[in-house]
Amino acid sequence: RKEVEQDPGPFNVPEGATVAFNCTYSNSASQSFFWYRQDCRKEPKLLMSVYSSGNEDGRFTAQLNRASQYISLLIRDSKLSDSATYLCVVIGVSEGGFKTIFGAGTRLFVKA
């Protein structure tokens, strides 16, 4: 089992749709969680951090469920510009400090 697993993509949705991604992690001691966005042939960029209480940034809502060991990302009112790969990132403790693990990403295509 991979340490971080994401929904297989791609997701093809029309503009204005609501879409949700899930990400599961295997290490119950994981400490921090993030969603990054990566455009084609570009570097990952932080979209938002994920907290147990949930957090919202405009059309984006992220949620953490520690008991079930998954995080989610909800995108409302999808825009064409939301088309990208969304990477789940989990940080846990390792011998050298903290260990960062990326999921393989979920690709989103938003169509006009």
Give the footprint of another protein on this chain (CB under 8 A).
Answer: 4, 31-32, 34, 41-46, 49, 87, 91-93, 96-105
Burial class (CB in 10 A: 0-12, 13-18, 19+), 84: buried
Q: Residue 53 Cβ, how far from another protein at the closest point, in Å?
A: 14
Residue 94, classed as helix, strand or coil, is strand
Both structure tokens of 93: 């403790």
Q: Residue 81 Cβ, how far from another protein at the closest point, in Å?
A: 19
Which of 18/52 has CB closer to another protein? 52
Q: Residue 51 Cβ, how far from another protein at the closest point, in Å?
A: 9
Which of 15/98 has CB closer to another protein? 98
Question: Cα(42)–Cα(98) distance, rounded to whole angstroms?
Answer: 25
Both structure tokens of 36: 């990054």
Which of 20/93 has CB closer to another protein? 93
Q: Residue 13 Cβ, how far from another protein at the closest point, in Å?
A: 20
First to last CA, the chain: 37
